[in-house]
């Protein structure tokens, strides 16, 4: 986990909201506009109803965008996440975020991801209590608090998820905390005040005619609150 002194606000556009027909150029556009990382949503049609894409697309995208240019944050909304680990690692994924609800043995899943050479994240759905991840905090790189029900873009931000973020920030001051779902310039202040520092934003960034200004605004909102988190 990162230390508080080096904890930074980072913005990861969700490419699910981009034009998938020209995904390579869309990702380059977002990186050039200042994206700190790219958030890739993988859905298997089982854990959540939609199906998006698999490791083949990640591999193809990685050929266009090398690791030294941008890192890929894989949000794995899949059942049995263990079976996806090797393929995603081989495809060039940098970070593998699995759902607590999708595995019977989080410890084993964490170990497999780490052994595959990727960073590890653990996510919780809105109806899951945040304390279920406490036993794994020392072994993961981040916790993702979903601020919508996983499975579809464009949903309304769930402000009532912010106590989860606050609890994590108060208890684990050095933890990278990610939020995903409905985050925009209109809702970012809730995330920033609660203590989230990794911000996933889809529609608000990707569909904006000026994604740079949107990402700058999101980043500044969070950065201004980082010193305050020490006193939470």
Residues acting as catalytic residues: 41, 180
Pairing mode, if any, of strands 95-99 and 119-124?
parallel
| Element spanning 77, H or E | strand 72-77
| Cβ neighbours around 232 below 10 Å, total | 14
Please give the DSSP secondary-structure letter assigned to residue 37: -
Please tell me the distance from the alpha carbon of residue 117 to that of residue 96, in angstroms, as a whole number.
10
Which residues fall within 8 angstroms of residue 101, CB to CB, at 6 or more apart?
Answer: 47, 124, 125, 128
| Cβ neighbours around 50 below 10 Å, total | 14
């Amino acid at each position: 986990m990162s230390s508080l002194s080096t904890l930074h606000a980072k913005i990861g556009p969700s490419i699910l909201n981009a034009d998938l027909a020209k995904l390579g150029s869309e990702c380059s556009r977002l990186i050039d506009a200042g994206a700190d990382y790219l958030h890739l949503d993988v859905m298997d049609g089982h854990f959540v109803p939609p199906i998006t894409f698999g490791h083949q697309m990640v591999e193809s995208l990685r050929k266009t965008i090398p690791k030294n240019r941008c890192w890929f944050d894989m949000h794995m909304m899949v059942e049995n996440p263990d079976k996806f680990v090797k393929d995603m690692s081989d495809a060039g994924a940098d970070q593998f975020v699995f759902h607590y609800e999708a595995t019977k043995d989080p410890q084993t899943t964490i170990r497999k991801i780490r052994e595959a050479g990727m960073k590890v994240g653990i996510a919780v759905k809105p109806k899951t209590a945040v304390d279920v991840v406490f036993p794994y905090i020392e072994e993961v790189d981040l916790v993702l608090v979903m601020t919508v029900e996983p499975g579809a873009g464009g949903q309304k931000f769930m402000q009532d998820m912010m106590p989860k973020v606050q609890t994590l920030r108060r208890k684990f001051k050095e933890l990278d905390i990610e939020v995903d779902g409905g985050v925009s310039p209109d809702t970012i202040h809730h995330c920033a005040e609660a203590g989230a520092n990794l911000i996933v934003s889809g529609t608000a960034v990707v569909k904006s005619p000026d994604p740079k200004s949107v990402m700058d605004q999101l980043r500044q909102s969070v950065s201004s609150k980082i010193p305050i988190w020490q006193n939470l």
